Structures are given as C-alpha cells and as structure tokens.
Structure 1
Amino acid sequence: MNFVPRATSVILNSSTKVVGKDWKLASVGAALLSLAPLAQAEDATQTEKRLETVTVQAAKATPVQAAQAQLDEIPGGTGLVQQAEVEKGRSATLEDTLAYQPGVYAQAAGGNDAIKISIRGSGANTSPGYFREGTKFLFDGLALTGAGGTPYELLDTQGLSYTEVLRGANAFEYGALSLGGAINFVTNSGLTAPGNRIKVEGGSFGWQKQTLSTGGVAGNADYFISVDNSKRDGYQDFTFTKAKGVVTNFGYRFNPKLETRLYIRYREEYHENSGALTLAQLKKNSSQTNPSTRATRGDSTKEGSTWVGSKTTYTFDDDSTLVAGLVYHNYPQILSKKSTVNPNYWDWRDINYSLKYTRSDQLFGLPSTTSVGWSSTQHIRSGVRTYSGDKDLGRLQKQVEYDGSFDHVFSLGNDLGLTDNLYLSTGLSAIEVKRNVDVNFSDRPNTSGIPSHYRYQEWKLAPRVGLRYYLTPDVQVFGNVSRSIDPPSSWSSSGSGVTTNFAKTLVPQSANTVELGIRGRSEIFDGSLTLYKSWIKDELLNVEILPATNTSAAVVSTANASPTIHQGIEAGLTTKLWQRDNGDVLSWRQAYTLNDFHYRNDPLFAKNELPGLPKHIYQGELFYQYANGFYAGVNVRSASSTAVDYANSFYAPSYTLWGARLGYDAPNKTWQVYLDLKNLTDKDYVTALVPSYDAKGQDTASLYPGDGFGAYTGIAYNF
C-alpha cells in the first residue's frame, strides 16, 4: 500500500527577515522535513502509518532583538541600550542611560535633566541648560525635536524599554539629517512590561525618586502607565531640582493588519541653574556656586510639558507597511523666574507629522526593501517675552516670535541585496527649512545694523550611499558616504537677551561625511569599531560674548563658522573573560571615543581645535554576574583635557573617575536591589563648560563642576 503523508508544513514565526543564506537554509530544512516521512514510507512494507502535521516554529524575536537586528542592517555606527541593564545601577538622568555609547557625550551639570548631549561633536558648544541641538530625539519613532531644538524636561528615563542610538547619517530611517544623528527612546507597553511595579531610590545630595507603574493586556488592547516623583538638593550650591511626570502607552489591535498606539508624556520640573566656576574656585571648593548665579537667582521652571503622539500601522497583503504619526507638543517654560534680572517667559507649541511606506520586493531580480517617508515639525505658536523684574510688576523689555518656522523632510531609501553577503543601501532626502524670526518689540533702539526680522526658506538635498559585507553571518564590514543638513534653531537668531534686539541671519550647517567600520559578535566578543570624517561648512557654533554679572544675564551668541573638520574613532567592546559551568560570567565592557574637531584654516584661529569636548574619552567596567542573580562590578571613566576657548589658550584638566556597583536581581524577577557608588576618590573635575572666544590664557569662570563622591541605592518590587 502506497503511503501519502496527510500534511507536512514548515512555519517560520519571527519578526526578523529571513534572507540570503538564512532563507536557503530554511528552504533546505523544509525539503528535508518533507522527505523524511516519505523515506519512512519506503521502509514500511506491511504497516499503514498515519503521520500528524509536523510544525517547526522558530522562537519569536523579542522587541529588543528585533530592534537590534534592524540596527545591524544599517551600514554605519549604531547602538542599543536596554533599560533593564541601566537599572542595575542609578538611573537618574540620560548620563546614566547613554554611558558606554561610543561617540556619545552625555554629562549632567547640577544633577537635573538639562544635561549636555553631543554625538560626533554636533551641538558640542551648547552649554547645559539650553535646548539640545545637533541631534534628533524621538519617542517610539515620533519626533520630540522641533524647529527650536529639543527641550530637555522630557528627556528622562521613565518608562523606557530600550534606547536606540543612530550616529550621523545612520539615522536616515527617522528622517534625521543632522550631523549627530538621532536617539530614539522606546516606551514600555502592556505587552513588554505586564504587571505592577514599585521602585524607590535615594542617595547622596538629597536625591530621591519614587516610581509606580502598571501594565497589562485586555483582549486586543494593552496599556502601560508610569508615574514618578523626584527631588535632589544638589552637590553644588544652588542646584536644587524637583520633577514629577506621567508616561502612558495605550495600544489597540483592530485586526492582524491594523493597529494603533497612543503615547502621552507629561512632566513638570523646576531646577536652579548650576553656576560656572574658575579652575581655582573648582579646585578650592567644587560645591560652591559663583556670585552672579547666587545674586541673580537663575532658575528654570517647566510648569507642565505635554507630548501626545499617535502612531497607526497598516500591513498590506504583500507585507508592505504604512505607518502614520501625529504629535502635539506644548512646552512652556520660565527662565530666571525668581530673578530681578531679565526673567523671560517662553511659549512653545509644535505639531509634528510623519508618514512612511515600506515595501519588500524584487529589484533587478534582487531582494529589495524600499521606503518612502515624509516628516514635518512646525511651530504653531512660539516666542519669548523678557521683562525687567517680576512679570506682573516689571516692564516688558523684549518680545520675539518664531511662529511658522518648520522643517519638512521627504526621503526615499532602498536596501538591495547584491549577493548573499553584500548589501547596498541608498537614500536621498530633501529638506525644506523655514525660519521666521520677528523681534516685534524692544525697549531700546536697534543700532546693530542687523534687521529685526529674518525669514529664511530653502530646499536642500542630502544623499546617502552605503555598503555592508558579511564576512560571516555575525561579522560585517561597512562603509557609507553621506551629506547632513543642520538648520539653526529658531531661537538662536534672537533669544531672550535684551541686548540682542535683532535677528541674526543664520543659515543651515552642511557636512559631507565618510564612514568606515566593522562590527560583530561571537560567544566571547561583541563589539564595533567605526572611523569617520566630516567636512563641515557653516558650522553653527556658540560662544559666550559677555559673562553673567550681578545685574545682567550672560550673553551667548550663535554664528556660522568658517570650514571645520569633525573626525574620530568610536570603539565599543564587551568581552566574556570567564564563565563557570553554573552560569556565572565575568565580563569586561569598554567604550573609547576619539574626538578630533578643529578649524580647517580659519583666518584668526588657523587649525585650532573646537572647544567643548575632551579629545579622548574611555569608559570601562569589569562586571561579575552570578547565576543566582547577584552582581558586582568596578568601573572607570577617563577624559583628556578640554579646550575652553576658540583661541585654545585655556584648557579644563583631564580626569579619571572610579566607581563600583553591586546588587541582586531575583531570578523570578519579583524584586531587585542595587548600590551604586560614584567618584570613589571624590575627584574634583569639569563635567561641561561654556565656550569663550579668547580667554587670553586667563582662568575664566567657564567650568561646570561634576559631583563629588556619591552613594545611591534603589529597590524595586514587581507583582
């Protein structure tokens, strides 16, 4: 009797693509599985056999694994940070989240969210306390950054699942055209973080933080809600900060093809501004503030910032997808509210749109993935009013409006499999930049010769081409050539300063970049090495023109520079040094960044290096993870000296900081506890600075001190 199998099927269930050799392997596997029962039938001469369906199901990739797989398909420098790993120690600001990321500089001044963040030197001259520039920030793929830059109060670690770091043109997917690339924060959902959680943290300098969260699934819907409250008295005098906020993520799946998500972030924050010191003051007592900061009572009040985002995804029959996003962002702020010197009131309201279509198909008979995207960020209401003294009792000194300023980006990209091992990535972005700056009131005449109104509107192109070649399935070399466009922030033409009662005619910065690198992972090693060089035209640089006094605020100006160079090395490596049979692991994590940023041939400063960032930065941690959940590690951060002025006459000194952390993460994930020790030797060091024009070798008050020795602890309970 001839035997015919009832059914044989192979089901591959994974969110990652199966291409090249992996697809061939899957096909061979399917064929072998189909032939196996037939071979058995030939041996069965008398006995009739009935075989049930054979199903092979691959383990479905987690969201983090899927995100890492997508990043690995970008021919350039990227990184991914799991928040669960960060929370094995202090998680107070993005300084903690973005540690050990090559090419990324993230340092807090004063312990609040207004930290200094720079990728590849983009926005390196922007001091702490200002909106971030030179890098695009997103939540769940939806823009936070607008035409005015990035407000910082929402840049906290609450409710995060993981963070994607895409350096330079490698952020093409998110419509980011800036030299620094993009940072995308991905929120927990009810699917990834079900259950309830209570977390309490505290430590040195009066730091306290309490977090409550809950998440779950109800039919086709899921939800995640997190609330937090924090305060810190501060290491440096006059750096008190307090904040509270809410993060939510609601999802609904209408059918297998259509799903939508609603994200809401709300945060209130108040902090006193860190005061810049001279090097002599910092060495004598790094916890002091400067007299002008104390006298003018400089502070920042975020009365309530609201970010509401919606993202809807539709999957077509051919597995192509259409993703539509909409964001409303309202973020008012008051600077120097308690000051008798120029308190200023800012009104910011943005609306952001995005639309992206992605299709996997054949092009010239080769596997191809094509994407078409459009994104827009626009001020629908924005401006600042500066007063002399209290708003209600003082008089209006200056009013500026930025309404209608926008960035529109249209992008077309393709990833083409030339062979099983070689892939070509191409892309072209067109950006329309509009800046509308109107100084519509000033209590003093404009004698500068610069107009009081500036309107700039222009289209620019940013092409990109890259290659990646797989030496093995887990090791690849890559390279790309790209062009970046950085429009000036709306407020940089004319901000709150009463002496700058005019609108500077700033133009977008542009750069051509070449990047080469290698990345890979094995049982022992996981790392990457990237080299890049950018030729920049009209770089947007900041400089302090006049320092703050007891009767006036500091005057900081932005200008387009003569041609500059940004080049560097970004290296990251995690090595498994030893593993016991019971699962204990000793690992060594390292990150090294070389920052070489300088003028090409400036008439005044020749080839001087640009101030703001150390040339060399190294971070390392020796970490022992016990199989039973206990862990302990020692870490180091070392930075070389940093130029303070464009004349390179004054440098902040180099430093090395030591730290340690230990804790316990219960195997059943019911509770966690940690102890994190920072700056064990109580080293005085400079964490950030205010660039000056020419210090003439003098010790100027341009240096922000970092925290002294601190101990931080936290405990979390999940139920």
Structure 2
Amino acid sequence: AENINNTGFYASNNFEIIKEKLFILLTGRYDNVVYDLQDQLLGSRSDKRRFEAFTPKVALNYKLTPHIAVYTSYGSSFDSPAKNELESFDISRLLNQELEAQESKNFEIGIKGNLVNFDSDFLQRMIFEATYFNINIDNEIVPWEVFGDVFFRNAANTLRQGIELGTDMNIYKGLNLNISYTFSDFNYKSYSAKIIEIDSTGNIVESDKDFSGNIVPSVPKHNIYLALSYTALITNNFTGFLKLSYRGVSGLWVDDANSDKTDGYNLLNSVAGIDISFGNFNLMISGGINNLLDQLFVGFTNTNSADKRFYEAGEPRNYFGSLNLGYVF
C-alpha cells in the first residue's frame, strides 16, 4: 500500500511603497510531504519519510517608466524528493533513507519592458527581459545509474548562476521575431560521493570520489533559440502561417566526474499551415520538417551511467503533419 500526503500553506501580500513606482512583494510557504509505503508481505520493509520546511521570499519592483521596470528578489525554496527519486538502492528498504530534500537560496535581479509604437508599421511592439540569477543549493538531488537502474543522491552544495535574455518583437506587419539566450555557470562547490563503475577488466569497482569544483552535468553553458514567424490574413476567415526556428546548444558534461563531454549542436526546424474559420468551427492544417540539416547530435544523456553508456542519439530529419478541428460553443 502506498500513501503520499502533501500539505501546504501559502501567504502573499503586495505593498505599494511609492505610488505607481515601487512595489514590494512578501511571500511565505510551508510544506509538509509524507511518503508512507507498506509492504503487505514483509512488514519489516515498510517505510515512511517526512519532509517539511518554511520558505520566505521578498521581491522589489521599480518602474523606471510606465513600460520599463527593474526588479530583484531574494528567497529560499524547498524541493522534496519525488516518489521515483526515493527508490532505495538497498533492497531491504522501500525508501531511500539517506536522500534529503533539496534546499536553496535564490537571488535575481533584472530589467523588463513592454514597448509599443502603433504609429509606425515597423517595430510596433517589443517585449524584452534580462535577468541575472544566483542559486545556492544545499543537498542538490542528482541522478546516478547502476546497470540500467537510475537512483538519486544528494550533492553537498551547488552554485548555479547565469544570465537569461529574451525578446519578442513585431518587426513588420505579421512578421515576428523571438530570441532567447541562457548562459549557465553551474558548479559543485563541495561534493563527495561513492560511485560504482566497471573497470577495464570488466570488474565492478566501488570507490569514493570528490567532485568539488566540477561542472554540473547535463546543463549546457550556452543555449540560444531564435524563431522567425509570419502570419498573413488571406481572407476574413482564412489565415496562413510560416515559422522557421533555430536552436544552438553547447556541449555538456555527462557525469559528475566530468570525464566526457558531448559536442554542441545546431538545429533548424520549420512549420507551415493554414487556419480556417467557418461559423463556430475552426480547422487548422499544418506540416513541417524537424532537423532540416539532418544533423547528428546527442539528444539525451544518461547522467552518471556506471557502464559509460551516456549517449542517446537525437532524432534525424523527420517530417510531421497535423489536422485539428475545433468548435466554439
């Protein structure tokens, strides 16, 4: 029998410090998560885990103009392990008794805006945002694989900091450009753990390793996305659309030891279609091509694989189509 109980209380209040200029947001949340598993055949294996925490946050927002604001926030967060993350490596237990909740201190500062200029056909609207974030994590939950089975453990302390940039603009009538970029500098400040791997002779080896100072695996340092889309109203009830997108991802490490790294990749995708309205019905027909250049790339990594099977290939060039029929009551 399995019983999972998640109880939470949340409070929030927003204050206007300077009229229509400066605002402060105060929040607080209490979480209590209980996992209770009962083994009907062997009662001694029955297990129970409880995770609880109170996490406050304060945020400031200052309007430089009616359309541009700077903001900052500081707070803590609490992430209890998910049910699958609590699976025990020790077969005598149902739940991992060593895995703790992940806790973090989060800081961010940034600027955002929503600019409009309806008097011009060019750049009528532009939304933008730039943010610096700094997250100091205690007991970060990280995966490790043992012969095909994935288990989870805590890293002692991790520093995640970076920059997020984004903009969405209407370049010209029906022509839109979306750009987003993330720079990630994620490192283990202190992290020692036991690892299981296969040596060159095929024997299973267990050893203690210190990963302090290493880069967190499975996170690219650079991640950029661009999308150019065009929508045209052909008749009052007939619209055509076209979208071309690009994603560039830098290489990423495959394990805590930083023993190997994937190559970066660049993907081009496209989609085109028509949207037809008739009465209360709406019909959308679309089709497209993913990975236009048919690039060979790593689509998924098995982080911390004991037998070094880290890589799963991404999809080659592929084609798709869809037909959607909707009705508005």
The answer to whether TM tops 0.5 is yes
Which residue of structure 2 aligns with residue 618 of structure 1? 224
**What does 1:425-464 correspond to in 2, within 5 Å?**
425-437=25-37, 452-457=45-50, 459-464=52-57
Match for 1:422: what amino acid? L
The 1:439–1:599 alpha-carbon spacing in structure 2 relative to 1, beyond 3 Å, is farther
- Measured against aligned partners, the alpha-carbon deviations of 1:435-479 in whole angstroms (never above 9, x if no partner) come to 33456657xxxxxxxx94543335421001001112222222111
Is 1:586 the counterpart of 2:204? The answer is: no
The 1:490–1:716 alpha-carbon spacing in structure 2 relative to 1, beyond 3 Å, is closer
Name the CA distance, whole Å, in 2 between partners of 1:613 and 1:636. Answer: 19
Match for 2:188: what amino acid? Y
Which residue of structure 1 aligns with residue 129 of structure 2? 528
The answer as to whether partners of 1:439 and 1:501 remain within 8 angstroms in 2 is: no
Is 1:672 the counterpart of 2:284? The answer is: yes
**How much does 1:667 deviate?**
6.4
The 1:458–1:688 alpha-carbon spacing in structure 2 relative to 1, beyond 3 Å, is closer
Is 1:636 the counterpart of 2:246? The answer is: yes
Which residue of structure 2 aligns with residue 80 of structure 1? none
SS at match of 2:233: coil
Name the CA distance, whole Å, in 2 between partners of 1:457 and 1:620. Answer: 43
The 1:601–1:718 alpha-carbon spacing in structure 2 relative to 1, beyond 3 Å, is closer
Match for 2:304: what amino acid? S
Which residue of structure 2 aligns with residue 501 of structure 1? 92
- Measured against aligned partners, the alpha-carbon deviations of 1:552-606 in whole angstroms (never above 9, x if no partner) come to xx23221121111122222221122223xxxxx2221111122322201335012
Is 1:472 the counterpart of 2:78? The answer is: no
**How much does 1:434 deviate?**
2.3
The answer as to whether partners of 1:665 and 1:673 remain within 8 angstroms in 2 is: yes
Name the CA distance, whole Å, in 2 between partners of 1:573 and 1:685. Answer: 27
The answer as to whether partners of 1:642 and 1:653 remain within 8 angstroms in 2 is: yes
Aligned residues: 292
Which residue of structure 2 aligns with residue 682 of structure 1? 294
2:166 to 569, 572, 582: 572
- Measured against aligned partners, the alpha-carbon deviations of 1:391-420 in whole angstroms (never above 9, x if no partner) come to xxxxxxxxxxxx2x3221112110111121
Is 1:543 the counterpart of 2:144? The answer is: yes
SS at match of 1:691: coil
- Measured against aligned partners, the alpha-carbon deviations of 1:690-715 in whole angstroms (never above 9, x if no partner) come to 111677xxxx3222222111111223
**How much does 1:514 deviate?**
0.3
The 1:512–1:440 alpha-carbon spacing in structure 2 relative to 1, beyond 3 Å, is farther
SS at match of 2:100: coil
SS at match of 2:58: strand
Which residue of structure 1 aligns with residue 261 of structure 2? 651
The 1:651–1:694 alpha-carbon spacing in structure 2 relative to 1, beyond 3 Å, is farther
**How much does 1:424 deviate?**
0.7
**What does 1:416-431 correspond to in 2, within 5 Å?**
416-419=15-18, 420-431=20-31
The answer as to whether partners of 1:516 and 1:531 remain within 8 angstroms in 2 is: yes
Which residue of structure 1 aligns with residue 204 of structure 2? none
Match for 2:28: what amino acid? L
The 1:717–1:563 alpha-carbon spacing in structure 2 relative to 1, beyond 3 Å, is closer
**What does 1:108-257 correspond to in 2, within 5 Å?**
none
SS at match of 1:563: strand
2:8 to 404, 409, 412: 409
Percentage of matched positions with identical amino acids:
22
Name the CA distance, whole Å, in 1 between partners of 2:41 and 2:154. Answer: 26
Name the CA distance, whole Å, in 1 between partners of 2:131 and 2:183. Answer: 10
TM-score by length of 2: 0.81
2:105 to 512, 522, 537: 512
Name the CA distance, whole Å, in 2 between partners of 1:678 and 1:414. Answer: 45
Name the CA distance, whole Å, in 1 between partners of 2:115 and 2:161. Answer: 29
Name the CA distance, whole Å, in 2 between partners of 1:677 and 1:595. Answer: 29
Larger relative contact order (C-alpha < 8 A, sep ≥ 6)? 1
Name the CA distance, whole Å, in 2 between partners of 1:565 and 1:693. Answer: 23
Match for 2:54: what amino acid? L
**How much does 1:627 deviate?**
3.2
- Measured against aligned partners, the alpha-carbon deviations of 1:143-186 in whole angstroms (never above 9, x if no partner) come to xxxxxxxxxxxxxxxxxxxxxxxxxxxxxxxxxxxxxxxxxxxx
Match for 2:143: what amino acid? N
- Measured against aligned partners, the alpha-carbon deviations of 1:510-555 in whole angstroms (never above 9, x if no partner) come to 10000112222123311222221111111111111x22xxxxxx23
**What does 1:262-273 correspond to in 2, within 5 Å?**
none
Match for 2:82: what amino acid? S
Match for 1:481: what amino acid? Y
The answer as to whether partners of 1:494 and 1:501 remain within 8 angstroms in 2 is: no
**How much does 1:483 deviate?**
0.5
Is 1:559 the counterpart of 2:153? The answer is: yes
Name the CA distance, whole Å, in 2 between partners of 1:595 and 1:440. Answer: 46
Which residue of structure 1 aligns with residue 312 of structure 2? 704
The answer as to whether partners of 2:51 and 2:80 remain within 8 angstroms in 1 is: no
User: Counting strand residues as a fraction of each chain, which structure ranks higher?
Assistant: 2
Name the CA distance, whole Å, in 2 between partners of 1:646 and 1:485. Answer: 23
Unmatched 5+ stretches in structure 1: 1-380, 383-402, 443-450, 548-553, 580-584
The 1:509–1:718 alpha-carbon spacing in structure 2 relative to 1, beyond 3 Å, is closer
Which residue of structure 2 aligns with residue 265 of structure 1? none
User: Counting helix residues as a fraction of each chain, which structure ranks higher?
Assistant: 1
Match for 2:157: what amino acid? P
SS at match of 1:600: strand
The answer as to whether partners of 1:437 and 1:490 remain within 8 angstroms in 2 is: no
Name the CA distance, whole Å, in 2 between partners of 1:630 and 1:464. Answer: 45
Name the CA distance, whole Å, in 1 between partners of 2:305 and 2:214. Answer: 12
- Measured against aligned partners, the alpha-carbon deviations of 1:233-284 in whole angstroms (never above 9, x if no partner) come to xxxxxxxxxxxxxxxxxxxxxxxxxxxxxxxxxxxxxxxxxxxxxxxxxxxx
The structure that has the greater radius of gyration is: 1
- Measured against aligned partners, the alpha-carbon deviations of 1:278-320 in whole angstroms (never above 9, x if no partner) come to xxxxxxxxxxxxxxxxxxxxxxxxxxxxxxxxxxxxxxxxxxx
SS at match of 1:525: strand
The answer as to whether partners of 1:534 and 1:567 remain within 8 angstroms in 2 is: yes
Q: Aligned-pair RMSD on alpha carbons? A: 2.4
Name the CA distance, whole Å, in 1 between partners of 2:144 and 2:40. Answer: 25
Unmatched 5+ stretches in structure 2: 117-124, 193-209
